[in-house]
Structure 1
Amino acid sequence: MKKVLLIAILSFAVISCGNNKGQDKKGGESGTISIDGSSTVYPITEAVAEEFRAVKPEVDVTIGVSGTGGGFQKFGRGEINISDASRPIKAEEAAVAKENNINYVELEVAYDGLAVVINPENDWATSFTVEELKKIWEPAAQGKIKKWNQINPAWPNEEIHLFGPGVASGTFDYFTEAIVGKSGSSRGDFTASEDDNVLVQGVAGDKYGLGFFGLAYYEANSDKLALASVDGGNGPVKPSTETVKNGTYTPLSRPLYIYVNSSSLNNPDVVEFVRFYLEEAGALAKDVGYIAMTKEEYAAQMEKFNKFVADNK
């Protein structure tokens, strides 16, 4: 009996050692990198991950798309290494991370403009003022502002069908803050989805559709959609690489971010991946429809990350 028990104990010890092989003290299993968050940032992160997998195929990089808010929830609980974000972390999200003893660094990786999109058959509302967009999207519009001619008498007496990101999306937060004046403040009677492809299909299939999402998704679907201009006070401007970068497309241009958890720094693959990200993001941003930062800006982000690594050893 004792001999059988000893064999069982030794077998359990061997299995346990095998399961712990490759584990970091705090940063998860080496050979794996877990990322979640913004659907807007997803294309550039996935492009970087694809290049990284070619260099280090033994590393499993998984990327979820639960929206900026959903990503920060997981990030604050220490469930993921990196959070994709299309807005800065909120105070309440930072507080959760602090409660869980999670330190982090915010890194800018590219620029993006929010596209206001219409159906190609829409030949009346090709440009909007910020005031018109606010009148459409503010909470007070729910159940009241239903038709195009309520925004402009010259527009059709037809229902507006609205499509936008879900409330967990950083794009939703950014748009509502820039247009309505308060983050998260919006009417609720619109088709919402964390999947930008659902929004693309909605507007593309509806003559009276109106929506918004990241510029990259418009550019990837420009054959199905039309891009509206936005007048931020200095005349109508369409989002483009030039207008987003030079600041003339206001107020709907913004930086995109990744957040890295300090507890992940024990995983050398995470550190290598983030450095790879900052080295390659400029070239890959253009490939997926975003606006690259300058070499100097990427160098500054690399310096910021290296200092973060050094300070958290």
Structure 2
Amino acid sequence: MLKLPNSIVLAMSAVFGALVGVANIANAGSMVKIDGSSTVYPITEAVAEDFQNAKKGAVRVTVGISGTGGGFKKFCRGETDIVNASRPILQKEMDDCKKAGVQYVEMPVAFDALTVVVNPRNNWSKAITVAELKKIWEPAAQGNITRWSQVNPAWPDEPLKLYGAGADSGTFDYFTEAIVGKAKSSRGDFTASEDDNVLVQGVASDKNALGFFGFAYYVENQKKVKAVPVDGGKGPVNPSAKTVEDGSYAPLSRPIFIYVNIKSAERPEVRQFVEFYMKNAPDLVKEVKFFPLPVQAYAINIQHLDNKKVGTVFGGRSEVGLRIEELLKREASL
């Protein structure tokens, strides 16, 4: 075997190391950074997995779970390319993005049925009204409504253990606005988490528990938790594709979104990821147990990206009870 002088070996090692360094820098640049809602996470994570497989490792996609509010904080500081959001961007977040020079395209990706759940051993709450949910969750309930019988005298005199989304969660914002009447208005003595899996485990382990989270987490854990039909005034309704599409699962049906930094979208890997997302969303949304939008909605999202139609159609406010056709009409007119 030919033995090279040490000087040549060292030189070759240096060159090889430099080439590896260049390759690593290139690979580090081919990254799409995403953070935000744990509700939207299963959709975006499924898209990211398929996209990375299609790219054979040439692009890395990271998807974090810091809640919608936490996600917007990072996004409006320019730290991420895309934010997952289970509610529209709020005025303060719009102001923060504007100050930092971050412009964005709003893209609805699915509808969700925010699901109220109990432990499978709960054999008394066959349905629950919006009024009863408000009685449980409003700020005045803290320290006062602590037993099931205080909500409904037909229910047992057992302790009421509550699990819900954390304060940085868009799910928390939407639920409190829909049920209590004001976003973030809630009792504070409950187990809170931005990670829906923590909430699932909490309800699953306590016979007297009640909680709420996105529909996909309920479907994936039907052996651990049980959905409670919600009566919004027209009788109890179960969350399902049909009741979300026809608007009867009210007021807990809601659109969910991604927001794309328009400057990030100039990078090929981000642009390609968003295009891949919109092309494959109808199938992947259904695969992870959410409710896809009509195909034209995803085409509108790409048109908005092409035409750099930045901003939001919600005016900095979250809205309760928005139906799919109303959302599409509004987004199309942006």
* In structure 1, C-alpha distance between the alignment counterparts of 2:74 and 2:257, rounded to whole Å: 16
Equivalent position of 2:300 in the other structure: 300
* In structure 1, C-alpha distance between the alignment counterparts of 2:195 and 2:26, rounded to whole Å: 34
Cα deviations by residue, 1:241-293 (Å, 9 ceiling, x for unpaired):
11112111000001110001122023111011001101101100111010011
Question: Which secondary structure does the structure 1 equivalent of 2:171 belong to?
Answer: helix
Letter in 2 for 1:31: S
Alignment of 1:7-156 (within 5 A): 18=22, 22=26, 30-56=29-55, 57-156=57-156
RMSD: 1.9
Cα deviations by residue, 1:169-220 (Å, 9 ceiling, x for unpaired):
0100010000000011100000011111111111111110000000000000
Question: Which secondary structure does the structure 2 equivalent of 1:308 belong to?
Answer: coil
* In structure 1, C-alpha distance between the alignment counterparts of 2:297 and 2:77, rounded to whole Å: 30
CA contact (8 A) 2:262 2:305 kept: no
Stretches of structure 2 lacking an aligned partner (at least 5 in a row): 1-17, 311-334
Give 1:126 deviation, angstroms.
2.0
CA contact (8 A) 2:70 2:168 kept: yes
Do the aligned partners of residues 21 and 221 (structure 1) sit closer, same or farther apart at CA in structure 2, a change above 3 Å counting?
A: closer
Equivalent position of 2:328 in the other structure: none
* In structure 1, C-alpha distance between the alignment counterparts of 2:191 and 2:243, rounded to whole Å: 29
TM norm structure 1: 0.90
* In structure 1, C-alpha distance between the alignment counterparts of 2:230 and 2:209, rounded to whole Å: 17
Percent identity over the alignment is: 56
Give 1:306 deviation, angstroms.
1.9
Equivalent position of 2:157 in the other structure: 157
CA contact (8 A) 1:30 1:267 kept: no
CA contact (8 A) 1:265 1:309 kept: no
Could you list the structure 1 runs, at least 4 aligned residues long, displaced by more than 6 angstroms after superposition.
none
Matched length: 292
Question: Which secondary structure does the structure 2 equivalent of 1:131 belong to?
Answer: helix
Alignment of 1:151-190 (within 5 A): 151-190=151-190
CA contact (8 A) 1:115 1:212 kept: yes
* In structure 1, C-alpha distance between the alignment counterparts of 2:297 and 2:279, rounded to whole Å: 11
Letter in 2 for 1:83: V
Question: Which secondary structure does the structure 2 equivalent of 1:36 belong to?
Answer: strand
Equivalent position of 1:6 in the other structure: none
Give 1:234 deviation, angstroms.
0.9
Confirm whether residue 236 of structure 1 aligns to residue 236 of structure 2. yes
* In structure 2, C-alpha distance between the alignment counterparts of 1:103 and 1:292, rounded to whole Å: 26
Question: Which secondary structure does the structure 2 equivalent of 1:143 belong to?
Answer: coil
Letter in 1 for 2:71: G
Give 1:19 deviation, angstroms.
9.5
Equivalent position of 1:11 in the other structure: none
CA contact (8 A) 1:111 1:255 kept: yes
Question: Which secondary structure does the structure 1 equivalent of 2:263 belong to?
Answer: helix
Cα deviations by residue, 1:107-142 (Å, 9 ceiling, x for unpaired):
001111000001111111121111100000000100
CA contact (8 A) 1:126 1:227 kept: no
Stretches of structure 1 lacking an aligned partner (at least 5 in a row): 1-13, 24-28
Letter in 2 for 1:48: V
